[in-house]
């Protein structure tokens, strides 16, 4: 069962659940509709879902001149209870006027935590390696503040980027990570850093998180959590060699991004790995995979990461039972071999979605 104990927002009585759907670019347009279908399949387990289609992405930028229209942000703030974001095709070269809409959305909505669980689903009980970890990625700082400059120096062109790490953001993400670790059987938290080289920035991140159990407001709450730490390059090595040693990992923005994508290789595909971007008042699900232009339009994009992200979103809102129904249905689909080509299967996006919906509707929990 794919279950992650996430600190939930206060549950409020809702007549309907208003979900913003932001397909973005590439296969985002093919997988985000899965959210609509699985939420409808849950029936009375959730408030009646209402869907608000919203625009963002590089294609939106090419069409209207902005990657994240103001009306999208306004709708998320004023109309939506939650959202699902698909994917974005950010160019690798600088495009004047363009910046990543997902990075901007995280800042606009103060979605300071990117929570990325990576869990293997064995097709049989004899599978030798089992992965069950969560990467908790700080979502607002590090090099993603995008403060870059190009100048001419004595040796020609020089490109420089400013990296930002604050005590405030480190404390927020640290508390989120401790809460996650507290709800896990192993209660283990690993701090990822490179403070042996970046002693000021990563040093502040590391020291701030280690100090959280001693804060007056913690009051012994995290005494049962075992704190470990790993230099980021060593962490990547051990992730591939011994993924079983990890439980909850907390990392600055860039390291968390790299580690979670690397961890996806351990469970078969980026198309299986979900995430939520979470703040204190809003949550937005997001599959970890990108826009995958090489398979766009072929009908074989894996919808399972989006479906799992939908479950994470519901769990964060306090809807545990429907989240479990979705998780169980995904597990059943994988174990029955109903998967897309990225996972070694032969089925289409719609085939896999249809099978998951069938499993949801027939579930008895």
Domain 13-111+281-364 carries which CATH code? 3.40.718.10
Residue partners of 70: CB distance under 8 A and separation at least 6:
none
Residue 268, pLDDT score: 84
Tokens of 325: 């129904």
- pLDDT tens, residue by residue, 263-308: 888 888 889 999 999 999 999 999 999 999 999 999 999 999 999 9
- For residues 130 and 267, the answer to whether their CB atoms sit within 8 Å is no
Query: DSSP of 4-57, one letter per residue?
Result: ---PPPPP---SEEEEEEEEESTTHHHHTHHHHHHHHHTGGGSSEEEEEE---S
- For residues 132 and 184, the answer to whether their CB atoms sit within 8 Å is no
Residue 147, pLDDT score: 86
- For residues 152 and 158, the answer to whether their CB atoms sit within 8 Å is yes
- pLDDT tens, residue by residue, 272-284: 999 999 999 999 9
Residue 3, pLDDT score: 42
Tokens of 246: 């990890």
Fold of 132-266: Isopropylmalate Dehydrogenase (3.40.718)
Name the nearest CA neighbour of 165 among 229, 85, 255.
255
What radius of gyration, in Å, describes the C-alpha atoms of the chain?
Answer: 20
Count CB atoms within 10 A of the CB of residue 164.
15
The domain locations on the chain are 13-111+281-364, 132-266
Tokens of 317: 């809102």
Residue 86, pLDDT score: 97
User: pLDDT means per 10 residues in the chain (365 residues)?
Assistant: 46 83 97 97 95 97 96 97 95 87 93 94 60 95 88 90 96 96 95 96 97 93 96 95 95 94 88 94 95 95 97 95 96 94 95 97 81
Name the nearest CA neighbour of 54 among 41, 42, 68.
68
Q: Do 13-111+281-364 and 132-266 fold alike per CATH?
A: yes
Count CB atoms within 10 A of the CB of residue 225.
21
Residues taking part in catalysis: 144, 194, 233, 257, 261
Residue 178, pLDDT score: 97
- For residues 166 and 141, the answer to whether their CB atoms sit within 8 Å is yes
Helix axes 101-108, 70-78, angle to 10 degrees: 40
Residue environment code for 264-302, b if the CB has 16+ CB neighbours within 10 A, otherwise e: bebbbbbbbbbbbbbbeebbbbbbbbbbbeebbeeebbb
Residue 123, pLDDT score: 59
Q: Which helix (H) or strand (E) holds 85?
A: strand 82-87
Length in residues, the chain: 365
Q: Exposed (0-12), middle (13-18) or buried (19+): which is 326, by Cβ within 10 Å?
A: buried
Q: Which helix (H) or strand (E) holds 357?
A: helix 349-362
């Amino acid at each position: 069962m794919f279950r992650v104990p996430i600190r939930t927002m206060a549950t409020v009585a809702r007549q309907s659940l208003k979900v913003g759907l932001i397909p973005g670019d590439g296969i985002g347009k093919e997988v985000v509709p899965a959210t609509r279908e699985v939420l409808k399949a849950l029936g009375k387990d959730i408030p009646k879902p209402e869907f608000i289609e919203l625009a963002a992405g590089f294609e939106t930028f090419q069409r209207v001149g902005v990657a994240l229209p103001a009306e999208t942000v306004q709708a998320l703030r004023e109309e939506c209870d939650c959202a699902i974001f698909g994917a974005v095709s950010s160019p690798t070269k600088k495009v004047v006027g363009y910046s990543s809409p997902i990075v901007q959305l995280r800042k606009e909505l103060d979605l300071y935590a990117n929570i990325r669980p990576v869990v293997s689903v064995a097709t049989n009980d004899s599978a030798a390696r089992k992965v069950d970890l969560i990467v908790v990625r700080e979502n607002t700082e590090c090099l993603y503040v995008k403060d870059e400059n190009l100048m001419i120096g004595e040796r020609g062109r020089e490109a420089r980027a400013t990296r930002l790490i604050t005590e405030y953001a480190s404390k927020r993400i640290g508390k989120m990570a401790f809460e996650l670790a507290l709800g896990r059987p192993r209660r283990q938290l690993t701090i990822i850093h490179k403070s042996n080289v970046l002693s000021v920035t990563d040093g502040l991140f590391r020291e701030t998180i280690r100090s959280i159990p001693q804060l007056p407001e913690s009051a012994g709450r995290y005494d049962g959590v075992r704190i470990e730490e790993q230099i980021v390059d060593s962490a990547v090595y051990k992730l591939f060699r011994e993924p079983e040693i990890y439980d909850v990992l907390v990392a600055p923005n860039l390291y968390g991004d790299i580690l979670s994508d690397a961890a996806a290789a351990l469970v078969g595909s980026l198309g299986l790995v979900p995430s939520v971007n979470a703040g204190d008042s809003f949550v937005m699900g997001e599959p970890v995979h990108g826009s995958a232009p090489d398979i766009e339009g072929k009908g074989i994009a894996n919808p399972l990461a989006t479906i799992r992200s939908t479950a994470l979103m519901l769990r964060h809102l306090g809807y545990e039972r429907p989240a479990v129904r979705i998780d169980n249905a995904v597990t059943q689909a994988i174990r029955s071999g109903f998967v897309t080509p990225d996972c070694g299967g032969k089925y289409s996006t719609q085939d896999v979605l249809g099978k998951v919906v069938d499993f949801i509707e027939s579930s008895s929990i």
